[in-house]
């Protein structure tokens, strides 16, 4: 299947690791020109070197950008406009969740988490909206969480913020149609640096990585019996951003191994 990325430009926020990095790799394999951004120059350069080895002879660009800094986000958009002249796909990949119950969540925690989840969408969408409107394949794909529909009491703040973001994306899918499609993926437990760090700090140091992750999947009652891979989330993102999904907007693909309980 030709996904139609030849000569297209994709921007991936949080692209130096995890789902963002895997998405950049898959887009490069589909012949897109890719811009990744992040806050850490060293990690960005490492990501660029890795992508250049995995997918040689492809156009990969890096830019320092904190997506909560409006000026930095517009600087990123200006760079893309001047260097590449277009943006056809924006992948908003805001990271991390905040673990705390309502009792343990401070007012400042609420403000910080709500700002992160909302403005990591709002600033990039506004900054790239004009270029996306000019594209004949304008698409936005947000990386959201299963928490948007299936909240967890130990992540009350993140769950509420994720639900609000999903509502925002639904509204935007109507307002920006038909020029720009807006979709998201809802991820469950995906192998990441977070889970690797938890594995490294496990109590039983003799327990193997395979066994530890297997027990985690069983404890969380994941029907597929394992955590997802960043590449599996990336595949869904790349599909939703492509011409193959040109009549799909205002919806999501769940990437959770069947973890959801809602219908």
Which CATH number, 3.40.250.10, 3.40.50.720, 3.10.150.10, 1.25.40.90, labels domain 9-190+228-255? 3.40.50.720
Is 94 a residue whose pLDDT tops 80? no
Q: Quick check: pTM over 0.85?
A: yes
The model's pLDDT over 96-152, given as tens digits with 9 standing for 90+, comes to: 788 999 999 999 999 999 999 999 999 999 999 999 999 999 999 999 999 999 999
Taking phi over 0 as left and psi of -120 to 50 as alpha, with beta for the rest, 18 belongs to: left
Give the other-Cβ count within 10 Å of 48's Cβ.
18
> Where do the structural domains in the chain lie, given as residue ranges?
9-190+228-255
Is 239 a residue whose pLDDT tops 90? yes
In whole angstroms, give the CA distance from residue 149 to residue 169: 14
The model's pLDDT over 44-88, given as tens digits with 9 standing for 90+, comes to: 999 999 999 999 999 899 999 999 999 999 999 999 999 999 999
Is 95 a residue whose pLDDT tops 80? no
Is 33 a residue whose pLDDT tops 90? yes
- The pLDDT value recorded for residue 212 is 87
Is 235 a residue whose pLDDT tops 90? yes
Contacts of 254 (CB under 8 A, 6+ apart): 146, 185, 186, 188, 260
Residue with tokens 């394999």: 29
The model's pLDDT over 172-225, given as tens digits with 9 standing for 90+, comes to: 999 999 999 999 999 999 988 777 888 788 778 788 888 888 888 999 999 999
Do the beta carbons of residue 87 and residue 80 sit within 8 Å? yes
In this structure, what DSSP letter does residue 145 have?
A: E
Assign 93 a pLDDT band (cuts: 50, 70, 90).
very high
Is 243 a residue whose pLDDT tops 80? yes
- The pLDDT value recorded for residue 2 is 86
């Amino acid at each position: 299947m030709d996904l139609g990325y030849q000569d297209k430009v994709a921007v991936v926020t949080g692209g130096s690791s995890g789902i963002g990095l895997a998405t950049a790799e898959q887009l490069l394999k589909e012949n897109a020109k890719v811009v990744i951004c992040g806050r850490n120059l060293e990690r960005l350069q490492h990501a660029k070197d890795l992508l250049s080895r995995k997918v040689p002879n492809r156009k990969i660009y890096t830019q320092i950008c904190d997506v909560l800094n409006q000026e930095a986000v517009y600087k990123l958009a200006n760079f893309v406009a001047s260097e590449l002249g277009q943006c056809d796909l924006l992948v908003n990949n805001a990271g991390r969740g905040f673990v705390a119950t309502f009792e343990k969540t401070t007012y400042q925690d609420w403000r910080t988490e709500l700002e992160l989840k909302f403005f990591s969408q709002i600033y990039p969408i506004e900054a790239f909206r004009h270029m996306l409107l000019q594209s004949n394949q304008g698409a936005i794909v947000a990386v959201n969480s299963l928490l948007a529909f299936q909240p967890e009491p130990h992540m009350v703040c993140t769950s509420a913020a994720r639900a609000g973001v999903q509502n925002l994306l639904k509204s935007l899918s109507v307002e920006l149609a038909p020029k720009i499609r807006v979709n998201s993926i809802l991820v469950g437990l995906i192998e990441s640096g977070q889970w690797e760090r938890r594995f490294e700090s496990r109590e039983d140091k003799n327990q193997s990585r395979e066994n530890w992750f297997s027990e985690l999947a069983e404890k969380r009652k994941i029907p597929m019996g394992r955590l997802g891979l960043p590449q599996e989330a990336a595949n869904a993102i790349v599909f939703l951003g492509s011409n193959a999904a040109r009549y799909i907007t205002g919806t999501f693909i769940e990437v959770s191994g069947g973890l959801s309980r809602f219908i």
